[in-house]
Protein backbone atom coordinates (compact mmCIF):
# COMPACT_ATOMS: atom_id res chain seq x y z
CA UNK A 1 0.00 0.00 0.00
CA UNK A 2 1.29 3.45 -0.91
CA UNK A 3 2.07 5.75 1.99
CA UNK A 4 -0.07 8.51 0.53
CA UNK A 5 -2.74 7.74 -2.05
CA UNK A 6 -4.76 10.03 -4.23
CA UNK A 7 -7.22 9.48 -7.05
CA UNK A 8 -5.24 10.75 -10.05
CA UNK A 9 -8.39 11.95 -11.81
CA UNK A 10 -8.78 13.79 -14.03
CA UNK A 11 -11.71 15.56 -12.47
CA UNK A 12 -13.44 17.64 -15.15
CA UNK A 13 -15.78 20.05 -13.44
CA UNK A 14 -17.90 22.92 -14.82
CA UNK A 15 -17.07 26.41 -13.68
CA UNK A 16 -18.97 27.37 -10.55
CA UNK A 17 -19.41 23.81 -9.33
CA UNK A 18 -18.16 22.36 -6.08
CA UNK A 19 -15.56 19.63 -6.20
CA UNK A 20 -14.00 17.53 -3.48
CA UNK A 21 -11.23 14.98 -3.41
CA UNK A 22 -9.66 12.87 -0.76
CA UNK A 23 -6.25 11.60 0.11
CA UNK A 24 -5.55 8.58 2.30
CA UNK A 25 -2.40 7.96 4.29
CA UNK A 26 -1.14 4.69 5.70
CA UNK A 27 0.94 5.77 8.69
CA UNK A 28 -1.25 6.48 11.68
CA UNK A 29 1.67 8.32 13.30
CA UNK A 30 1.57 11.01 10.61
CA UNK A 31 1.30 14.36 12.25
CA UNK A 32 1.04 17.20 9.77
CA UNK A 33 -0.88 17.46 6.55
CA UNK A 34 -0.85 19.85 3.66
CA UNK A 35 -2.35 20.48 0.26
CA UNK A 36 -0.03 21.79 -2.44
CA UNK A 37 -1.05 23.02 -5.86
CA UNK A 38 1.03 22.36 -8.95
CA UNK A 39 0.35 23.97 -12.30
CA UNK A 40 1.45 22.14 -15.41
CA UNK A 41 5.24 21.81 -15.53
CA UNK A 42 5.67 24.29 -12.68
CA UNK A 43 6.82 23.95 -9.11
CA UNK A 44 4.43 22.90 -6.31
CA UNK A 45 3.21 25.67 -4.05
CA UNK A 46 1.56 25.42 -0.66
CA UNK A 47 -2.20 25.82 -0.89
CA UNK A 48 -3.08 25.23 2.73
CA UNK A 49 -2.21 23.27 5.82
CA UNK A 50 -4.79 20.87 7.23
CA UNK A 51 -5.61 21.19 10.89
CA UNK A 52 -7.37 18.67 13.10
CA UNK A 53 -10.36 20.95 13.46
CA UNK A 54 -10.55 21.58 9.75
CA UNK A 55 -9.81 24.91 8.17
CA UNK A 56 -11.13 27.18 5.50
CA UNK A 57 -9.44 29.69 3.24
CA UNK A 58 -11.90 31.48 1.01
CA UNK A 59 -13.41 28.93 -1.36
CA UNK A 60 -11.16 26.15 -0.09
CA UNK A 61 -11.89 23.90 2.86
CA UNK A 62 -9.57 21.21 4.17
CA UNK A 63 -10.60 18.46 6.57
CA UNK A 64 -8.71 15.79 8.46
CA UNK A 65 -10.18 12.49 9.58
CA UNK A 66 -7.61 10.74 11.76
CA UNK A 67 -9.82 7.75 12.52
CA UNK A 68 -10.14 6.88 8.85
CA UNK A 69 -6.73 8.31 7.95
CA UNK A 70 -7.72 10.65 5.18
CA UNK A 71 -7.69 14.31 4.40
CA UNK A 72 -9.98 16.10 2.01
CA UNK A 73 -10.04 19.27 -0.04
CA UNK A 74 -13.26 20.98 -1.03
CA UNK A 75 -13.34 23.74 -3.61
CA UNK A 76 -16.53 25.78 -3.86
CA UNK A 77 -17.58 28.02 -6.75
CA UNK A 78 -14.71 26.68 -8.85
CA UNK A 79 -12.88 29.05 -11.18
CA UNK A 80 -11.01 28.36 -14.40
CA UNK A 81 -7.85 29.33 -12.53
CA UNK A 82 -8.37 26.41 -10.15
CA UNK A 83 -7.31 24.01 -12.91
CA UNK A 84 -4.16 22.36 -11.60
CA UNK A 85 -2.88 19.22 -9.94
CA UNK A 86 -3.45 19.06 -6.19
CA UNK A 87 -0.84 17.23 -4.14
CA UNK A 88 -1.54 15.76 -0.75
CA UNK A 89 1.49 15.95 1.56
CA UNK A 90 2.00 14.18 4.87
CA UNK A 91 4.67 14.83 7.46
CA UNK A 92 5.73 12.08 9.85
CA UNK A 93 7.58 13.37 12.90
CA UNK A 94 8.73 9.89 13.82
CA UNK A 95 11.03 9.39 10.86
CA UNK A 96 11.11 13.05 9.87
CA UNK A 97 9.76 12.27 6.48
CA UNK A 98 7.68 14.39 4.16
CA UNK A 99 5.71 12.24 1.70
CA UNK A 100 3.95 13.54 -1.38
CA UNK A 101 0.98 11.94 -3.05
CA UNK A 102 1.02 11.58 -6.82
CA UNK A 103 -1.61 14.28 -7.19
CA UNK A 104 -5.17 14.73 -8.38
CA UNK A 105 -5.61 16.53 -11.65
CA UNK A 106 -8.47 19.01 -11.79
CA UNK A 107 -9.74 20.76 -14.91
CA UNK A 108 -12.43 23.42 -14.67
CA UNK A 109 -14.51 23.64 -17.81
CA UNK A 110 -16.02 26.96 -18.96
CA UNK B 1 12.29 38.62 -3.62
CA UNK B 2 12.39 35.39 -1.63
CA UNK B 3 13.10 32.57 -4.01
CA UNK B 4 14.80 29.30 -4.87
CA UNK B 5 16.68 29.27 -8.16
CA UNK B 6 17.82 26.29 -10.17
CA UNK B 7 20.08 26.05 -13.17
CA UNK B 8 19.89 24.89 -15.81
CA UNK B 9 16.14 24.78 -16.38
CA UNK B 10 16.46 22.35 -19.26
CA UNK B 11 19.28 19.95 -20.04
CA UNK B 12 19.74 17.22 -22.62
CA UNK B 13 22.85 15.14 -22.12
CA UNK B 14 24.33 11.76 -22.94
CA UNK B 15 24.87 8.73 -20.77
CA UNK B 16 27.95 8.98 -18.58
CA UNK B 17 28.65 12.69 -18.93
CA UNK B 18 28.90 14.20 -15.46
CA UNK B 19 26.58 17.09 -14.74
CA UNK B 20 25.66 19.41 -11.90
CA UNK B 21 22.35 21.11 -11.28
CA UNK B 22 22.72 24.13 -9.05
CA UNK B 23 20.23 25.25 -6.43
CA UNK B 24 20.36 28.45 -4.44
CA UNK B 25 18.00 30.06 -1.92
CA UNK B 26 18.03 33.57 -0.47
CA UNK B 27 15.80 32.98 2.55
CA UNK B 28 18.49 31.79 4.98
CA UNK B 29 16.73 28.43 5.23
CA UNK B 30 18.53 25.64 7.01
CA UNK B 31 16.71 22.77 5.34
CA UNK B 32 17.14 22.01 1.65
CA UNK B 33 16.22 18.99 -0.40
CA UNK B 34 16.12 17.58 -3.90
CA UNK B 35 13.18 15.77 -5.44
CA UNK B 36 12.54 14.07 -8.71
CA UNK B 37 9.07 13.91 -10.21
CA UNK B 38 8.02 11.17 -12.59
CA UNK B 39 4.57 10.42 -14.02
CA UNK B 40 2.58 8.17 -11.72
CA UNK B 41 5.24 8.24 -9.01
CA UNK B 42 4.88 11.73 -7.65
CA UNK B 43 7.66 13.65 -5.95
CA UNK B 44 10.34 11.47 -4.46
CA UNK B 45 13.08 12.82 -2.26
CA UNK B 46 16.63 12.20 -3.44
CA UNK B 47 18.75 13.87 -0.75
CA UNK B 48 18.21 16.43 1.95
CA UNK B 49 20.34 18.65 4.13
CA UNK B 50 19.51 19.87 7.61
CA UNK B 51 22.31 22.43 7.59
CA UNK B 52 25.77 23.20 6.24
CA UNK B 53 27.89 20.05 5.91
CA UNK B 54 24.95 17.87 6.98
CA UNK B 55 23.37 15.81 4.23
CA UNK B 56 21.40 12.58 4.20
CA UNK B 57 19.81 10.18 1.77
CA UNK B 58 16.18 10.41 0.84
CA UNK B 59 14.12 7.71 -0.82
CA UNK B 60 15.96 7.48 -4.15
CA UNK B 61 19.61 8.53 -3.67
CA UNK B 62 21.27 6.01 -6.02
CA UNK B 63 23.22 7.69 -8.79
CA UNK B 64 23.23 11.11 -7.16
CA UNK B 65 25.51 13.13 -4.94
CA UNK B 66 25.03 16.41 -3.13
CA UNK B 67 27.07 18.84 -1.13
CA UNK B 68 26.25 21.67 1.26
CA UNK B 69 29.30 23.84 1.70
CA UNK B 70 27.30 27.04 2.10
CA UNK B 71 23.89 27.56 3.58
CA UNK B 72 22.38 29.01 0.44
CA UNK B 73 23.62 26.44 -2.10
CA UNK B 74 22.78 22.79 -2.52
CA UNK B 75 23.99 21.40 -5.86
CA UNK B 76 22.88 18.03 -7.20
CA UNK B 77 25.57 16.03 -8.96
CA UNK B 78 25.08 13.18 -11.38
CA UNK B 79 28.50 11.58 -11.76
CA UNK B 80 27.48 9.21 -14.56
CA UNK B 81 23.94 9.96 -15.72
CA UNK B 82 21.83 7.15 -17.14
CA UNK B 83 18.55 7.26 -19.09
CA UNK B 84 16.55 6.24 -16.00
CA UNK B 85 17.55 9.56 -14.47
CA UNK B 86 15.55 11.39 -17.10
CA UNK B 87 13.09 13.31 -14.97
CA UNK B 88 11.88 16.66 -13.67
CA UNK B 89 13.98 17.75 -10.70
CA UNK B 90 12.97 20.19 -7.99
CA UNK B 91 15.06 21.78 -5.30
CA UNK B 92 13.24 22.94 -2.18
CA UNK B 93 14.09 24.84 0.98
CA UNK B 94 12.36 25.59 4.25
CA UNK B 95 13.00 26.56 7.84
CA UNK B 96 12.92 22.85 8.66
CA UNK B 97 11.53 19.57 7.33
CA UNK B 98 8.52 20.04 9.58
CA UNK B 99 7.97 23.61 8.42
CA UNK B 100 4.60 24.63 7.17
CA UNK B 101 5.88 25.54 3.75
CA UNK B 102 8.46 24.07 1.46
CA UNK B 103 9.62 26.57 -1.16
CA UNK B 104 10.35 24.94 -4.48
CA UNK B 105 12.60 26.05 -7.27
CA UNK B 106 11.19 26.26 -10.82
CA UNK B 107 12.42 22.79 -11.76
CA UNK B 108 15.04 21.32 -14.07
CA UNK B 109 13.91 19.06 -16.86
CA UNK B 110 16.71 16.59 -17.54
CA UNK B 111 16.87 14.20 -20.48
CA UNK B 112 19.63 11.59 -20.62
CA UNK B 113 20.01 9.83 -23.96
Per-residue pLDDT of chain B (113 residues; tens, 9 = 90+): 889 999 999 999 999 999 999 999 999 999 999 999 998 888 999 999 999 999 999 999 999 999 999 999 999 999 999 999 999 999 999 987 766 689 999 999 999 99
Partner residue facing B104 (CB), from A34, A44, A91: A44
**What Cα–Cα distance (Å) separates residue A38 from each residue in A23, A45, A65, B79, B105?**
16, 6, 24, 30, 12
| Cis amide leading into A11 (omega within 30) | no
End-to-end CA gap in chain B: 36
- The residues pairing with B89 across neighbouring beta strands, listed in sequence order, are B36, B108
SS (H, E, C) B41-79: CEEEEEEEEEECCEEEECCCCCCCEECCCCCCECCEEEC
Instruction: Report percent pLDDT > 90 for chain A.
Output: 76
Nearest-CA residue of chain B relative to A31? Answer: B98
DSSP class of residue B102? P
* Average pLDDT value for chain A: 92
Chain B residues bordering chain A (beta-carbon distance below 8 Å): 35, 40-45, 88, 90, 97-98, 100-102, 104-107, 109
The helix/strand/coil state of B30 is coil
CA dihedral in degrees (A64, A65, A66, A72; nearest 10)? -50
Nearest alpha-carbon partner for B70 in B91, B52, B94, B92: B52
Amino acid sequence: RKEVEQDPGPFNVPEGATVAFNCTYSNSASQSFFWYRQDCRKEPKLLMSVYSSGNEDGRFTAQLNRASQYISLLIRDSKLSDSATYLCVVWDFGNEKLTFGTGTRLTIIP
Amino acid sequence: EAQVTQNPRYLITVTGKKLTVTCSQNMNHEYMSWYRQDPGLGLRQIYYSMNVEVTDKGDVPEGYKVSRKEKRNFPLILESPSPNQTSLYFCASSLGPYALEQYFGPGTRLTVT
